[in-house]
Amino acid sequence: MNIRNIAIIAHVDHGKTTLVDRILQATKVFRDNQETGELIMDNNDLERERGITIFSKNAAVEYNGVKINVIDTPGHADFGGEVERVLKMADGVILLVDAFEGPMPQTRFVLQKALHLNLKPIVVINKVDKPNCRPDEVHDAVFELFFNLDATEEQLNFPTYYGSGKNGWFNDSLTPTEDILPLMDGILKYVPSPVVTEGNLQLQITSLDYSSFLGRIAIGKVTRGTIKENMPISLMQTDGSIKKSRVRELYVFEGMGKKKVSEVVAGDLCAVVGLEDFNIGDTIADFENPEALPVISVDEPTMNMMFSINNSPFFGKDGKFVTSRHLRDRLMKETEKNLALRVVDTDSADSFLVYGRGILHLGVLIETMRREGYELTVGQPQVIVKEINGVKSEPYETLVVDVPQEYASKVIDLVTRRKGEMHVMETKGEMQHLEFEIPSRGLIGMRTQMLTQTAGEAVMAHRFLDYKPWKGPIPGRNNGVLIVKEAGTTTGYSLDKLQDRGFFFVDPGEEVYKGMIIGENNKPGDLVVNPNEGKKLTNMRASGSDAATSIAPKTLMTLEECMEYIQFDECIEVTPNFIRMRKTILDEEERKRQQKRLSAEAV
C-alpha cells in the first residue's frame, strides 16, 4: 500500500513544528509564490503567542507517489494526553532530539509510549548548526535511552539522520545537503506500510474536529475493512453500548486541508461526518457483526483546581458567559476532546473540581475560556493525594535543570528546600546538567524563583514519575500580600505613600474592591491598606511639597504565574480583560474569624 503514517515526537522546543514546515515545503504543498510564514501547523492564537504546540494536528503530503500522513504532536508533558492517543494512528515515529540538549524528560515519556505500541522509530538529531552541539554524544545517549526502555532488537537498530530544520537540510551523515529529501527517502524506506488484517470494518476515533457547517467530526485510522459514504455502521462506545448510525460524508487529509471522498480503505486516516454522541476511544465497526478495538488508556491527572462562577463585586461587568450553567457546559464540552481532563461536581452548584496534568494544562484551558468570553474564579492548584497500601502518597516528578555553572549551587539549594533529591550532576559544555526527584507540590511556584535566582539562565523541564510516600510540609510563599481595605479607585498619592510596604500589581486609576490583592508585602503576613485616599487640597502651597509622585510601574503577572503565586485562602478572578488575585473571603473580620476557627480545629 502506498501510504505511510508517521508521528513526530520530541521534547518541547526541539523543532517538531519546524520540521513539519520543511516537509510541507519540500513536497510542494504550497505554490512557489505563496506566502506561508513559519510554524504553519500552529494555527491557534495561543500556540503562536506561546511558541508551543498544544493540539496535535494532521497534514498529508505526497512524495514519489506515496501518501505520507504526518501528525504533529505537542512536546510539553502537560499535553501528554494528546500524544498518547494520536500515536494510535501512526505506524512509525520520527524522534527529534536537540544536538546540544540530548534526550530530555519528555523525550523519554513519548518514546516509551511509541515503543510500547511497537512503532518503527527514525531518530533525527536536529540543530547541528548550533555552537557547542555534540551530535555523536547525543546519538549514544539516544541509544542508551532506547536500551533502558527495553526496546526490541529491531527497534534498537534505528536509522539516524542529522540536520538543521531552521536551515532546511537533513542527511544520514553530518554533511549538509541542499534539502530534506534524504529524510523523505528514509521515511519511505524505514516506515512500514500500515498492517492490514482481513475482516470487517474497524476504525477507532482518536481525535475530534468541529465545523460550524458539518458539526462534530470523528478522526481516526481505518485499521480493517473499508468505510464508504452513506454506509450504515455500528458505533461501539467505551461503556459497552452499541448505537446504530450512518456515515454521511467522508474526508481524507490532503496538504493542510481535507478532501471529500466516497470510500477509504484500511491503513489510511480519515474524517467521518454524520455521527452523533461519539467520544474519543469509540470504535466505528461493521453494522451486522461489530467488533470493538481496545479502549485508549491515558495516564491519570496529577493536579486539581476548583473552578467557580465569578462572585466578586465586579461580577458580570466584563464577560458574556457568567452563570454556573455556562461554566458547567463549557467544562463538559472540553472533556470530550481533552482526554487528560476530568470534571467532578462538588457540593456547591456553583463550583466544579477540574483535574488536569499540570499548571500549563489547566492554564491553557482557563486562557481559552476567558478569550471566549467566560468569567470565572479559580482556586489554588492542589496535587492529587492517594492512599497506596495504607500509606499517604503524592505524585513525584523528574526535574531536569540545565544552568550555567556559577548558579548550580543556588538551584540545588532551592530544589532541596522544596524536598527534592539530586540524582545526577554532570557537565555539558559550559552548562551544569542537574536531575532531581521532587514532589509535584514542590514544583508549584518554583519556576519564577528559579529564574530569579539564575538571572533567567536556567532551562527547566519536568515529567510525572510515580506516586511515592508523602514528604511532609513544603514551604510556600515567604511574604504576605497587600489587601484593599475599601472599594474605590487607586490614587497616585496613596500608592506613593505605600511604596515602602512592598510592590504593586496595580497602577493609579484602577478600580479595586475590598479583599482584592494589589501587591506583595515586604514582610511575612498580610497587610490591609487603603490605596484610594486622595490628597487633601487646601489653597496654601509650599515649594517642593507638591512634587510629582514617582511610583514604580506595576508588576505584570501571567495567568500561570498567578496560579503558582496564590495560597490556599486566595483565588484568581479571570475575566476576558482582567486577571485579578483576591482573598476567597473578602471581608477582613470574616477572614479573622475563619482563621481562629481553623487554628482551634488544628489544636
Annotated binding site for GTP: 13-18, 126-129
Residue 520: burial class (beta carbons within 10 Å; 0-12, 13-18, 19+): buried
With beta carbons less than 8 A apart as the criterion, state whether 78 and 360 touch. yes
205, β-bridge pairs: 220
What is the C-alpha separation between 379 and 582, in angstroms, rounded?
10
Can you tell me which residue has the cell 514544583? 443
Running DSSP on this structure, what letter comes out for residue 313?
Answer: T
The cell for 317 is 461587568
- Residue 166 — φ and ψ, nearest 5°? -65, -40
Mark the binding-site residues, compressed into ranges.
13-18, 126-129
Rg (CA), the chain: 27
Helix (H, G, I), strand (E, B) or coil at 186: helix
Give the closest residue to 8 by CA, choosing from 57, 70, 60, 54: 70
CA geometry: angle at 574 spanning 570 and 578, to 5°? 110
Cα distances from 379 to residues 308, 356, 363, 513, 521, in angstroms, run 8, 14, 12, 18, 21
Strand (E) positions, 53-201?
Answer: 57-63, 66-72, 92-98, 120-126, 160-164, 169-171
Give the 3-state secondary structure percentages of the chain, helix then strand then coil, rounded to 5.
25, 35, 40
Helix (H, G, I), strand (E, B) or coil at 33: coil
E strand segments, 151-282: 160-164, 169-171, 202-211, 215-224, 226-228, 232-236, 242-246, 249-254, 257-261, 263-265, 269-273
| Burial zone of 229 (CB within 10 Å; 0-12 exposed, 13-18 middle, 19+ buried) | middle
Handedness of CA 134, 173, 13, 422 (dihedral sign): negative
Cα 444 from Cα 381, distance rounded (Å) = 8
As a whole number of angstroms, the distance between CA 235 and CA 220 comes to 13
